[in-house]
Amino acid sequence: MGTMRYFREKMQRRNVTQDVKHYEDCKQLFLSIGRCFAVEALIQFFNMVDQNGVPTKNRPPYYMLEVGSNKQVYYDSVLDKFMDQFLLQPTQDRVEHDPVIDEDFVHNYSVCILKYFFLLLDFKDAVREGNGARLATLHKVLVQHFKSCPGFNSYAIEMLINVVQNEVFLTDAEAHNCVWASTANWTGGPGRNVEIDLLQENRNKDLKKQIKAMGANKTNKAIDRSSRASGGERQIAENYDQQVNRPVHSSSHSHQSSVLDDKKILADLRTLKPFNTIPNRKHDSFQEISSDPLATLDETELARWLSRHKKNLLLDAPIILDNEDEI
């Protein structure tokens, strides 16, 4: 009880597999489980019976509820305390450390899920807000995460190339364009940005549909003209549908609400109480897991890896950057 695999089987999410085509299904399951672990952590933090209970710990004084500025001060301070307790706990040395006999590995597993969950939420929120500077910072964080996981070295290299290009190789204007052009807002409004490559995939889908509709009239000139107008045609059609209040066609695939699944997960977590420290408690499949996702990262090997790829990148660098110490 309490592992990702356990909840996958209990929720009967058979579409959650390693196949890249089921990425969205895997993401939705992880977000559901991550939300429930976050709620369980808050229940533990406020010492509540359940999610509908009354806080008996870290609750604000009554006078704070009457003044708006005091409310914000309380919220900031209590959230900082929550992060210090669950996300910023001190960990042992990542490479060499003595095992702790009384360590709670179920608690470590749960904290690890929380850290991955909030990292994903941070990335998704930065995309929605179109915050290029925040995304650039997260790319630096992801270099370490991808390097610490076997089989994800190619993703670590992509993140490294992105960071080096923006920080070293590109001019200030080019770097600014790369950082702030990674998202696009097609429909307008705050918090509605999407990744630029996802927008391009949608445009390609529209273009293929238009080319298929040409039939015998398909020519290079017609395809070129249609490709140039594909984005504008889509926007015109969407604006027209909005003006005439045309209802949006529902998808042919129905999606079951995750509310019932979330309730089942929360009920199991209330029974398990993963954030209560119980010495030498373990999951069957995770006998000794660290609460730090980067515990397996060998910093010495990471330094050698960075140095090696720095030299590889310098092979295609401008002449003024021949000295590798300038990176």
Q: Residue 270: what residue type? A: R
pLDDT in tens, 265-294: 999 999 999 999 999 999 988 888 999 999
> What pLDDT digit, counting tens, does each position of 139-153 carry?
999 999 999 988 899
pLDDT for position 256: 66
Lowest mean pLDDT among 65-69, 83-87, 95-99, 167-171: 95-99
User: pLDDT at residue 36 above 90?
Assistant: yes
Say how far apart CA 158 and CA 312 lie, in whole Å.
13
The distance of Cα 96 from the centroid of its chain, to the nearest Å, equals 29
Q: Which amino acid is at 107?
A: H
Q: What is the pLDDT of residue 323?
A: 44
Residue 234 near residue 206, CB atoms below 8 Å: yes
Q: Residue 327: what pLDDT?
A: 43
pLDDT above 60 for 94: no
Q: What is the model's pLDDT at position 312?
A: 82
Q: Convert the pLDDT of each residue in 107-119 to its tens digit.
A: 999 999 999 999 9
The helix/strand/coil state of 112 is helix
Cα–Cα distance measured from residue 122 to residue 124, given in angstroms and rounded to the nearest whole number? 6
The three-state secondary structure class of 194 is strand
Count Cβ neighbours within 10 Å for each residue of 83-92 and write b for 16 or more, e otherwise. eeebeeeeee
Q: Over pLDDT 90: what percentage of the chain?
A: 47
Q: What is the pLDDT of residue 257?
A: 73
Over residues 256-264, the mean pLDDT reads 85
Which amino acid, residue 310? K
Alpha carbon separation from 253 to 181, 249, 250, 256 (Å, rounded): 33, 12, 8, 10
What's the confidence (pLDDT) of residue 210?
87
Span 170-195, pLDDT tens digits: 999 999 999 999 999 987 888 999 99
Instruction: Label residue 8 by pLDDT band (50, 70, 90).
Output: very high
Mean pLDDT computed over every residue of the chain: 86
Q: What is the pLDDT of residue 253?
A: 57
The pLDDT assigned to 117 comes to 96
What's the confidence (pLDDT) of residue 206? 86
What is the rounded CA–CA span in Å between residue 112 and residue 40? 14
